[in-house]
Amino acid sequence: MYSIIIWFLAATLMIGEVEAAEVAKLKQDVYAISEAGVTSLVLLSEDGVLITDPANPERAKALQAEIAKLTPRPVTRIVLSHEHLDHVGGTEAFPGAEVICHLSCKAVFDLDVGGSAPKKVHAVFNDQHSFQFGGRKVTLIHVGPADGFASTIIHLPEDAIIYSADLYADRYIIPGIWMDNDNYLGVLKALRLMRDLKPQIAVNAHSTSTSVQALQENVTFVEDLYQLVSTQINKTIATKGPGAVMDNIPRWSQELKLDQYKDWSNYATEFPAHVRRMALSIYHGG
């Protein structure tokens, strides 16, 4: 039974509405807490709590309340999955917590005019960063550009758990409006990397499901999409020249199909946007 993806950010995250939380214990001292369309990975330790993606001030307060039911200890570390503002707000609800994000976050945070970005990022990393938290190894793997430039996978290798954001959904074609900043080749690279880590649990920032099946299905979906679109691009370049590619992308968006996915939510309305995004990623670099 597939969970229903909770991709309603415009209605919840950006205006601060918070629904009842769903708390899932994944391993000893490891939880996934879902509310207001976002799921955070939560690690408990004797010294404090690590969380991912508080999202916004209202959700951060609700997340803090749920954590207080599990432990009296404060949040001491916040790992951000990437730079997008619907994920990074609310860090001030956890005073004293160290905020960690890929080094490319800063350039985007400096442009924030709405006050969502963290006031301070205490630690940055480049390709990969590992540390111990409560005796548990945590590895941050930068996979961007994918959804933005800072896309990061949080990996708990000893627990076979991964956490990611905005890279896939559960039999749900993500609305095109959320895809404009995506490099689909980077998304494919990230999905393959996550698959190859052989997780037993895959926490997705916009779903309550932790099944790896959705991840595996999306690797296949994006590979199929790549083959579909790259074939058209290569054929067009060979017969009409490179300049004809951009002229044909609008037509391909309407004509190209992968009907084996027609039962996925939003296929009829949103699949054209995925064709366009893949074509631009292949031909234009993003």
- In tens, the pLDDT along 186-226 reads 999 999 999 999 999 999 999 999 999 999 999 999 999 99
Q: Do 6 and 206 form a contact (C-beta atoms < 8 A)?
A: yes
Task: Note whether residue 254 is domain-resident.
Answer: no
- When the pLDDT of each residue in the chain is averaged and rounded to a whole number, the result is 94
Rounded to the nearest 10 degrees, what angle do helices 184-196 and 267-284 cross at? 100
User: Is residue 145 reached through a cis peptide bond, with omega within 30 degrees of 0 on the bond before it?
Assistant: yes
Task: Note whether residue 149 is domain-resident.
Answer: yes
Which residues contact residue 232 at a Cβ distance below 8 angstroms, ignoring those fewer than 6 apart? 248, 252, 256, 279
Q: Do 72 and 45 form a contact (C-beta atoms < 8 A)?
A: no
Residue 19 has what pLDDT? 64
In this prediction, residue 83 has a pLDDT band, given cuts at 50, 70 and 90, of: very high
Task: Note whether residue 220 is domain-resident.
Answer: no
Task: Note whether residue 105 is domain-resident.
Answer: yes
Rg (CA), the chain: 19
Structural domain count of the chain: 1
Residue 135 burial (CB count, 10 A): 9
- In tens, the pLDDT along 146-190 reads 999 999 999 999 999 999 999 999 999 999 999 999 999 999 999
Handedness of CA 230, 253, 212, 140 (dihedral sign): positive
Residue 11 has pLDDT above 50, yes or no: no
Task: Note whether residue 278 is domain-resident.
Answer: no
Residue 61 has pLDDT above 50, yes or no: yes
Residue span of the structural domain in which 136 resides: 9-172+200-209
Task: Note whether residue 185 is domain-resident.
Answer: no
Task: Note whether residue 262 is domain-resident.
Answer: no
CATH number, domain containing residue 166? 3.60.15.10
Query: Whole-model pTM above 0.85?
Result: yes
Task: Note whether residue 238 is domain-resident.
Answer: no
Average pLDDT over residues 251-255: 98
Short-list 235, 215, 234, 108, CA closest to 170 = 215
- In tens, the pLDDT along 88-129 reads 999 999 999 999 999 999 999 999 999 999 999 999 999 999
